[in-house]
């Protein structure tokens, strides 16, 4: 549960703690959204095989494993059945998964905000299965280069670059 998540994740002091969710589209199609808590950096994960627990686990693991090790500390998710394979995800990636309390989406506030911004690019009713990785990368690039007041008017990509130095 989220109450067991390390304090460093709560206060955003240490990068590598992620919030995740699915952005749903037409006919139960979806993409995975990952937002790093300290930098607000966004990664979008295609789910071409659907949003089953196995498909989500596989796609998220492939994405997370491309990160430098110090940027893969934890993942906070809601109570959705798509994360039923969270234990295997942790074994595969070394990234511990924490779950929000039921009906408490604000406990993943960065991700909820980002999903709202993503609706500018992928409105409700979008067939997410028709999106290419290039489509997802363009939307993520746009968000990652948008300055944020909460980051002292730096963009998430700038904050991530500071972490990687």
Taking the C-alpha atoms of residue 64 and residue 70, their distance in angstroms, rounded to an integer, is 11
pLDDT of residue 106: 86
pLDDT at 97: 97
Element (H, E) at 45: strand 42-46
What are 36's strand-pairing partners?
18
What's the rounded Cα separation, in Å, for the pair 102 and 79? 6
* Reported pTM: 0.94
Ranges in the chain, pLDDT < 50: none
């Amino acid at each position: 549960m989220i109450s067991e998540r390390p304090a460093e994740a709560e206060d955003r002091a240490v990068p590598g703690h992620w919030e995740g969710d699915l952005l749903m589209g037409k006919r139960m199609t979806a993409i995975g959204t990952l937002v790093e808590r300290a930098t607000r950096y966004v990664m979008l994960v295609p789910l071409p095989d659907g949003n089953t627990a196995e498909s989500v686990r596989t796609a998220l693991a492939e994405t997370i494993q491309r990160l430098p090790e110090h940027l893969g500390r934890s993942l906070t998710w809601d109570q959705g059945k798509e994360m039923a394979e969270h234990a295997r995800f942790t074994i595969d990636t070394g990234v511990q998964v924490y779950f929000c309390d039921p009906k408490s989406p604000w406990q993943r506030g960065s991700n909820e905000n980002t999903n709202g911004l993503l609706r500018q690019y992928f409105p409700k009713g979008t067939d997410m299965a028709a999106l290419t990785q290039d489509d997802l990368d363009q939307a993520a690039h746009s968000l990652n280069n948008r300055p944020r007041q909460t980051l002292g008017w730096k963009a998430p990509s700038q904050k991530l670059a500071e972490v990687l130095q």
